[in-house]
Amino acid sequence: MKLFLVLFFLLFTPNAYAGRVEIGRAPDNKPIVITYNDKYSFKDYTGRTLLKATDLNNTIVYASCFSQEIPDRHIFPDAMTGVTFVNCNLDNVYIPAGNTVIGGSQKRFKVQNDLRDWEIDINNRPVEVMGKEYWQSQGYSVDPKDIPRIKLKDIEGIKRIR
């Protein structure tokens, strides 16, 4: 009897493991509502991988953080397809072809010799320091040409502009 009840519950409650959220408005002002996967949504996977996950395909992941320290990090199965990431932090994460990213963040960054995280271009060259306004307000250079060739011991060695 217990097994029957469990099977009945699983078969007839398809949204038991899903949540719904409005993510915006269509041009006709109707709400855009998505049904997301509870298992992977609203989670913090910072620095971790999901390479062995077998239940990601054809699902929506909402508002999770997958950020990595190493650019272009492969943390999802290469065969993963049909996943839509909505408002997720995918910084430094490689997303296999056949998946979609909507909103969120998908920056590539790397710690440089000045000990700060810098957004990097496709050739891994620093382009802009992360938190640029803060560093400027503190009187530090935000010009990539001022990154020292040798790694600093502390941030006091960063070039000042005032």
| pLDDT tens digits, one per residue of 127-160 | 999 999 999 999 999 999 999 999 999 988 999 9
Percent of the chain with pLDDT over 90: 85
What is the C-alpha to C-alpha distance for residues 56 and 81, in angstroms, rounded to an integer?
A: 8
| Strands in the chain per DSSP E | 18-25, 31-37, 60-62, 84-86, 100-102, 109-111, 117-120, 126-129
What is the C-alpha to C-alpha distance for residues 34 and 24, in angstroms, rounded to an integer?
A: 10
DSSP state of 77: -
pTM equals 0.82
Specify whether the CB–CB gap between 125 and 112 falls below 8 A: no
